[in-house]
Structure 1
Amino acid sequence: MTLAELIAQARTALDTAITARQQEQDALMALRSDETLTEEQARAQIERRDAADAEVTRRQQALADLEAEQAREDELAQLQARTTPAAHRAPAYDRVHRVGAEERTYRPDQDRRGAMFERDVAAAFLGDYEARDRLARHMAEERAERGEQLQRAVGTGAFAGLVVPQYLTDMYAPQAQANRPFADAIRHHDLPAQGMQVNISRVTTGASVDLQTSENTAVTEQDMDDTNLSIPVQTAAGQQTISRQSIERGAGVEAVVMDDLFRRYNTNLDNKILNQASTGLTNVATAVAYTDATPTAAELYPKVIEGLAGVEASMLDMASGDNLAVMHSRRWYWMQNAMGSTWPMITQPGIIAQTLGANYATSYGRGVRGILPNGTPVIVDNNIAANLGAGTNEDEIYLVDRQECHLWEDPDAPMYIRAEQTKAASLGVLLVVYGYFAYTHQRYAHARKIAGTGLITPAYTGV
């Protein structure tokens, strides 16, 4: 990772820390206006505010250190350019095979949207040797930095199985389309190196313990038994044929095509995790009915608590407590539009008692959007169907233990690109994006979903 990328990350972390500190300060001001405020409550909130303030200071110093390091590197580069004799200067950047800490062949500061990479992929199949050389350098750099992760990648002799530069997959993830908010929030694993199935052993009959009836009598015994949970490895893929004319005479055509394929890959994967027949979250979750011709956010909230209680009752001592509420954006904004004069009788850490949870004001697909009154984080995902029910106008709210929603993805990419000149007779070039994944929400049958006429298309009336 370059210094520029580290600086960008540090700036994002600082912005996040500042936002968190402001939220703690707002919470403190709200508490101070509460006539029932105790000294202990005030002191606890001040401590949280001060901790957030210290985090801002730490992030600020980290950013300053990185910027100072970058300034020094720039200064040394300029000095070297002035002092190195012209006859002994290093070869041009594109004449050197660079790996490790050297600058990458494809970099976000020079090729932000990946147009150069995409153009090279397509051009390599048309006999462009310079494009082939750049792609070969890129693959060597990937092996140097990610080592064992690329052991299964196809060789570059025919350039079938090129690894997409990591910054491109990172960049494309948050763009338009429903994308993959839920997939990014759940528990991730590396997909096994071989096989088209993931197997998990589940204990279905446990041992037994009871009181001994009397001395020297047999103690209770129950033979344990397990059942194998088989999870299929699936392939998500998309393709697009583009003309040779668009490659050679067009401007940015490849970038548009690949951007769309990347985003649709992410959206398709997330959609399957939520909606796939038999195994998608909507089909394995136990329903909590909310039937109401005039629904309100205040009436919906107890259903959320009922669902979370069901999650914990199913998990018992295996419950992590790391729960999620997953809902459509229209439902999240409807809950925010509600006004009321009542609030929960039991307060929660870090939540102002007089409000129905908190909105973190993060943008779509950037993680947790806010929290409910009991502290449950909210993930907003528009892959949730909004055409359910008899009136085809209902959505659903899912309540899960985050640690028991599992997603396996191939660690090589997670996405790959292949380009093959399979339609030479029509001057066409084929671009393909694909990836392998497996998922399950059923290691423990715990998920709940709120469904019914109470979740019809919302009316934003303040209730």
Structure 2
Amino acid sequence: MTLADLIAQAREALNTAIATRQQEQDALIALRSDETLTEEAVRDQVARRDAADAEVTRRQDALAELETEQAREVELAALQARTVPAATRAPAYDQVARVGAEERTYRADQDRRGQHFERDVAAAFLGDYEARDRLARHMQEERVERGDQLRAVGTGAFAGLVVPQYLTDLYAPAAAARRPFADAIRRHDLPAQGMSVNISRITTSTSAALQASENTGVSETGIDDTLLTIPVQTIAGQQTLSRQAIERGAGVEPIVLDDLFRRYATTLDSTLLNQATTGLAASAATITYTSGTPKVVEAYPQVVAGLAGVESAMLDQASGENIVVMHSRRWYWLQNGLSSTWPLISQPGIAAQMGGTNLGATYGSGVRGVLPNGTPVIVDNNVVTNLGGGTNQDEIYVADRNECHLWEDPNAPMYIRAEQPAAASLGVLMVVYGYAAYTHSRYAHAQKITGTGLVAPAFTGV
């Protein structure tokens, strides 16, 4: 089998690995659009996708190694094909004058352009030991005759040869808060048409009461509903790139597209939390936590009060799948608290002496931990931290995750690549957009903890 055959096999294996990786990615996208998905199922599929990705990298490296070897073989064949002039025959012993010193290894009268020296440099690089010996002898001769003139030369002397390298595969994308809350709540496919969705809410219920006496009228109240109208909103961003940047740059277009996707996700999530009137912060009932010296042991009861408020509002419609949403600084502040007191009532799966559980998950990967009463925590840095009189407060939100609804197009965000609008200036327009609708108010249930007890935390261990 030749080297060309090995390269062909390696290319086929790489194509197969790429196809497998694409299948795993498609399966992950399909899984994420399933309303019944679980965190474990998503993690398993992500692991399979990452394993397929690693296999692509391994196959890619193997192909690159074979292609490098092939290029080297071609280079060596070209060197071998060159004709090296035969050495000039030395004159007879009695036909030369002697000056009491050996001849130089490389002589200007025999090789004015230094071709013999250059050939030996190339041959030494390829492993020719005789060429290495000649070069070593030449350096010794230079030290003897011109030692006072020799000096070390650094890379600065070769500005046109020692070129900087740009590690484009290690570029640092702009950090983004992305969409931890949006990924944690109840998601639906957005209807294909219309710029609003409507939900009927029973706001006047029927009634039942004790009958006053036999054969007397029983309680009757006419049922009535109120229409909850939810607008479909558009989130979009654009970037115009020069064709030179795309065609002469390294990975410019996918890098810009990735950043647009990250901004889209961050805007969607921030809207769910912070939009006026309808965002979680605006629709939640307020629990005020006031303290001049905030302590973890004071803040935790406020969260429990929020959970009580959620269930009181939901009654028999409570799913029991409550979540607590907070900024990362608040999550780490809760972890810094130390106490010798234990809760009076233990919770399933949590030892009484533990103040909750940190699951060790990375940011944006789902539930970060569990509070002492078993409620999962979603850490989201789209939670604002400039509230209150000192513009240094954040808030903690408590909600039933199944009553925070998000409608999204399964293919969102969409991507438009338009060359014609800016063709005259050699520009390419890139647009990312998507439609979404949401509500936290099918049942008015969410709670928020706010106040001076939630100023920028001091990590004092209490």
Using structure 2 for the length normalisation, give the TM-score. Answer: 0.64
After TM superposition, give the deviation of residue 3 of structure 1 in Å.
Answer: 4.9
- Give the Cα separation in 2 of the matches to 1:455 and 1:315: 26
Structure 1 residues 284-336: Cα deviation after superposition (integer angstroms, max 9, x where no partner): 10110001010000010110111110000000010111000000000000000
After TM superposition, give the deviation of residue 370 of structure 1 in Å.
Answer: 0.4
Structure 1 residues 326-347: Cα deviation after superposition (integer angstroms, max 9, x where no partner): 0000000000011110121000
Task: Give the corresponding residue for 1:393.
Answer: 392
| Partner SS for 2:181 | helix
Letter of the aligned partner of 2:414 in structure 1? Y
Verify: 1:183 aligned to 2:182, yes or no. yes
**Among the aligned pairs, what percent are the same residue?**
64
Contact 2:21–2:56 at 8 Å: present in 1 too?
Answer: no
- Give the Cα separation in 2 of the matches to 1:279 and 1:430: 33
1:217 to 1:293, Cα distance in 2 relative to 1, 3 A = same
- Give the Cα separation in 1 of the matches to 2:276 and 2:322: 24
Task: Give the corresponding residue for 1:215.
Answer: 214
1:200 to 1:206, Cα distance in 2 relative to 1, 3 A = same
Contact 2:290–2:453 at 8 Å: present in 1 too?
Answer: yes
Q: When the two structures are aligned, how many residues end up with a matched partner? A: 311
- Give the Cα separation in 2 of the matches to 1:196 and 1:282: 24
| Partner SS for 2:301 | helix
- Give the Cα separation in 2 of the matches to 1:273 and 1:325: 15
1:9 to 1:256, Cα distance in 2 relative to 1, 3 A = closer
How big is the alpha-carbon RMSD for the aligned residues of Structure 1 and Structure 2? 2.7
Letter of the aligned partner of 1:325 in structure 2? V
Q: 2:418 aligns with which of 417, 420, 426?
A: 420
| Partner SS for 2:239 | strand
1:175 to 1:200, Cα distance in 2 relative to 1, 3 A = farther
Verify: 1:368 aligned to 2:367, yes or no. yes
After TM superposition, give the deviation of residue 216 of structure 1 in Å.
Answer: 1.6
- Give the Cα separation in 1 of the matches to 2:241 and 2:174: 22
Letter of the aligned partner of 1:418 in structure 2? I
The correspondence of residues 44-443 of structure 1 with structure 2, limited to 5 A, is: 176-411=175-410, 413-421=411-419, 422-443=421-442
- Give the Cα separation in 1 of the matches to 2:423 and 2:56: 31
Contact 2:235–2:433 at 8 Å: present in 1 too?
Answer: yes
1:328 to 1:256, Cα distance in 2 relative to 1, 3 A = same
After TM superposition, give the deviation of residue 5 of structure 1 in Å.
Answer: 6.9
After TM superposition, give the deviation of residue 2 of structure 1 in Å.
Answer: 6.2
Contact 2:393–2:456 at 8 Å: present in 1 too?
Answer: yes
1:432 to 1:372, Cα distance in 2 relative to 1, 3 A = same
The answer for unaligned runs of 5 or more in structure 2 is 1-17, 28-39, 59-172
After TM superposition, give the deviation of residue 427 of structure 1 in Å.
Answer: 1.2
- Give the Cα separation in 1 of the matches to 2:455 and 2:432: 36
Letter of the aligned partner of 1:415 in structure 2? P
- Give the Cα separation in 2 of the matches to 1:287 and 1:221: 35
After TM superposition, give the deviation of residue 368 of structure 1 in Å.
Answer: 0.2
Letter of the aligned partner of 1:180 in structure 2? R
Structure index of larger Rg = 2
1:358 to 1:175, Cα distance in 2 relative to 1, 3 A = farther
1:250 to 1:175, Cα distance in 2 relative to 1, 3 A = closer
After TM superposition, give the deviation of residue 195 of structure 1 in Å.
Answer: 0.2
Task: Give the corresponding residue for 2:125.
Answer: none
Structure 1 residues 159-218: Cα deviation after superposition (integer angstroms, max 9, x where no partner): xxxxxxxxxxxxxxx994100000000000000111000100000000011111122211
Letter of the aligned partner of 1:283 in structure 2? A
Letter of the aligned partner of 1:178 in structure 2? A
Letter of the aligned partner of 2:355 in structure 1? L
- Give the Cα separation in 1 of the matches to 2:206 and 2:432: 48
Using structure 1 for the length normalisation, give the TM-score. Answer: 0.64
The answer for unaligned runs of 5 or more in structure 1 is 11-54, 71-106, 113-173
Letter of the aligned partner of 1:301 in structure 2? Y
| Partner SS for 1:261 | helix
After TM superposition, give the deviation of residue 221 of structure 1 in Å.
Answer: 0.4
Structure 1 residues 21-53: Cα deviation after superposition (integer angstroms, max 9, x where no partner): xxxxxxxxxxxxxxxxxxxxxxxxxxxxxxxxx
1:7 to 1:236, Cα distance in 2 relative to 1, 3 A = closer
Structure 1 residues 325-383: Cα deviation after superposition (integer angstroms, max 9, x where no partner): 00000000000011110121000000011111000000000000000000000000000
After TM superposition, give the deviation of residue 256 of structure 1 in Å.
Answer: 1.5
| Partner SS for 1:214 | coil
- Give the Cα separation in 2 of the matches to 1:414 and 1:8: 16
Contact 2:174–2:259 at 8 Å: present in 1 too?
Answer: no
After TM superposition, give the deviation of residue 111 of structure 1 in Å.
Answer: 9.9
Contact 2:313–2:445 at 8 Å: present in 1 too?
Answer: yes
- Give the Cα separation in 1 of the matches to 2:249 and 2:20: 34
Task: Give the corresponding residue for 2:453.
Answer: 454
Structure 1 residues 231-253: Cα deviation after superposition (integer angstroms, max 9, x where no partner): 00000000000001111211111
- Give the Cα separation in 1 of the matches to 2:434 and 2:57: 24
1:109 to 1:233, Cα distance in 2 relative to 1, 3 A = farther
The correspondence of residues 26-37 of structure 1 with structure 2, limited to 5 A, is: none
| Partner SS for 1:391 | coil
1:9 to 1:458, Cα distance in 2 relative to 1, 3 A = farther
Contact 2:324–2:398 at 8 Å: present in 1 too?
Answer: yes
